[in-house]
Amino acid sequence: MRRGGVLAAAGLLLLAAAGLLWWQAERMAQEEEIARALTGGEPRRAPALLTRYGCGGCHAIPGVPGADGRVGPPLGSLRERVYIAGVLPNTAENLLGWLRDPRAHAPRTAMPATGITEAEARDVAAYLYAH
């Protein structure tokens, strides 16, 4: 009887873990869909772009290996913030403008102009809004 109870408890724990994983996957899919709609970008292309442009040297970016910089602000949960870089209302249009030409919005910013294209900026913005 005791062994049966342990097996039942283990089964319930496995079911709960599977349910939690499913819920997290669904939530992430919804976040990505919202980010695509807001930016016109594809978040799945962004980690390679964030690495190529060296964003992780200055920023901590969730889900991007090696992106643990501490010069600029961490970029997790960006969609929940009120301002971008402390100077722009947080809209997709403003984020795209900031990514393309930060000094046009804040001339004294330490963030460099990277040369990122419009399409790449959309992908990066989608990723940042989804994560």
Instruction: Look at the chain and report how many structural domains it folds into.
Output: 1
CA distance 97 to 103: 10
Per-residue pLDDT at 27: 82
Per-residue pLDDT at 2: 76
Q: What tens-digit pLDDT sequence spans the chain (131 residues)? A: 577 777 776 666 776 667 666 767 688 789 999 999 999 999 999 999 999 999 999 999 999 999 999 999 999 999 999 999 999 999 999 999 999 999 999 999 999 999 999 999 999 999 999 99
- Is pTM beyond 0.85? Reply is no
Per-residue pLDDT at 20: 63
Does residue 83 sit in helix, strand or coil?
A: strand
- Host domain of residue 64: 2-130
CATH of the domain at 96: 1.10.760.10
